[in-house]
């Protein structure tokens, strides 16, 4: 069973501190999904999720071109969580430094990259597995 999760759920927050790679889904101009592996960090207090990226990457280009609706998913066995939201690209030094600090806490110190920007996602919905405290869970529909 799965469903919506509260961003204030301790189990959810702990899951997003554990070292897991994620996938980021952005939308191409034709509406098709572009899915890539990323490192992501959750800032539950601010209602944000951050992904560092190079300025010229496809994911950054998609967001800058108006494809600001994104989803970030991570999976660990039966536990999973997807964060949906509206993305913006930030390139100011403060935003990049904060994203690098959070990335280093979760993964490792990021390699130097003068083209680094941050995809900052304002969270609109969090979904996940029952093991993370999903509320309003319902069984998956049966397949015929």
Q: Is residue 69 part of a domain?
A: yes
The mean pLDDT of 33-50, rounded to a whole number, is 97
Q: pTM value?
A: 0.90
Q: Flag whether 141 is in a domain.
A: no
Among the residue ranges 7-16, 33-42, 75-84, 133-142, the one predicted with the least confidence is 133-142
Question: Is 28 inside a domain boundary?
Answer: yes
Does 62 fall in a domain?
Answer: yes
Output the pLDDT for position 136: 62
Domain contains 140: no
β-pair type (48-54, 40-43):
antiparallel
- Mean pLDDT over each residue of the chain, to the nearest integer: 92
Which of 43, 37, 44, 36 shows the shortest CA–CA distance to 8?
Answer: 44
Domain containing residue 71: CATH number: 2.30.110.10
Number of domains forming the structure of the chain: 1
Who's near 30: CB < 8 A, 6+ residues apart? Answer: none
Mean pLDDT lowest among 26-30, 62-66, 139-143? 139-143
C-alpha dihedral (98, 87, 131, 19), degrees to nearest 10: -40
Residue 144 within a domain: no
Task: Report yes or no on 25 lying in a domain.
Answer: yes
Nearest partner of 17 among 35, 44, 37, 38, judged by Cα: 44
Quote the percentage of the chain above a pLDDT of 70.
Answer: 93
Domain carrying residue 128: 2-133
14 occurs within a structural domain? yes
Residue 54 has pLDDT above 70, yes or no: yes
């Amino acid at each position: 069973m799965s469903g919506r999760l509260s961003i204030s759920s301790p189990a959810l927050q702990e899951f997003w501190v554990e070292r897991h790679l994620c996938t980021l889904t952005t939308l191409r101009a034709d509406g098709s999904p572009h899915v890539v592996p990323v490192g992501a960090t959750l800032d539950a207090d601010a209602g944000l999720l951050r992904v560092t990226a190079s300025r010229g990457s496809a994911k950054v280009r998609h967001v800058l071109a108006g494809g600001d609706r994104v989803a970030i998913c991570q999976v660990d066995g039966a536990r999973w969580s997807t964060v949906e939201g509206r993305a913006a690209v930030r390139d100011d030094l403060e935003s990049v430094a904060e994203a690098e600090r959070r990335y280093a806490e979760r993964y490792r110190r990021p390699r130097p990259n003068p083209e680094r920007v941050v995809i900052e996602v304002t969270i609109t919905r969090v979904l996940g597995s029952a093991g993370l405290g999903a509320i309003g869970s319902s069984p998956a529909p049966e397949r015929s």
